[in-house]
Amino acid sequence: MNWTRDGIRLLERLWKEGLTTAEIGRRLGMSKNAIVGKAHRLVLPPRPSPIRRKPEVVIDRLPGPACQWPHGDPGDPEFRFCGKRAVSGKPYCGEHYLRAYVGVTPVRDVNAA
């Protein structure tokens, strides 16, 4: 794979514009991995990974031993934790404890009379 000066300049410009490596590769007629490798060799500034998620809500901000049962989607601004008083030694309140810790049902022997 040959990199021309024009190709490198275009890579640097598109990188600064924030295009994905896949899109830069399409525009330059190269693979995403070729773009990543060249960007690394050029020591272009790192960008946030598109697969990294937003930091989760920090559970330790809940007052005291509070229920950590999630309500809603973590990416939604309405996302929250239950927050009721947790059962001693458990991360959930009584209601959510019963939902989270399901007992094992004994297996019945179908051959038994």
62 within 8 A of 70, measured Cβ to Cβ: no
Listed by start position, the domains of the chain span 5-41, 53-103
Task: Compute the chain's Rg from CA coordinates.
Answer: 26
Letter string b/e over residues 11-50, b meaning 16 or more CB atoms within 10 A of that residue's CB = beebbeeebebeebbeebebeeebbeebbeeeeeeeeeee
- Asked if pLDDT for residue 10 goes beyond 90, the answer is yes
Digit-coded pLDDT (tens) for 50-106: 555 554 444 645 556 889 999 888 888 888 899 898 888 888 998 998 888 877 666
In angstroms, the Cα distances linking 58 to 14, 49, 54, 63, 81 are 35, 21, 12, 12, 10
Mean pLDDT confidence for 32-60: 75
pTM comes to 0.45
Confidence of residue 4 (pLDDT cuts 50, 70, 90): very high
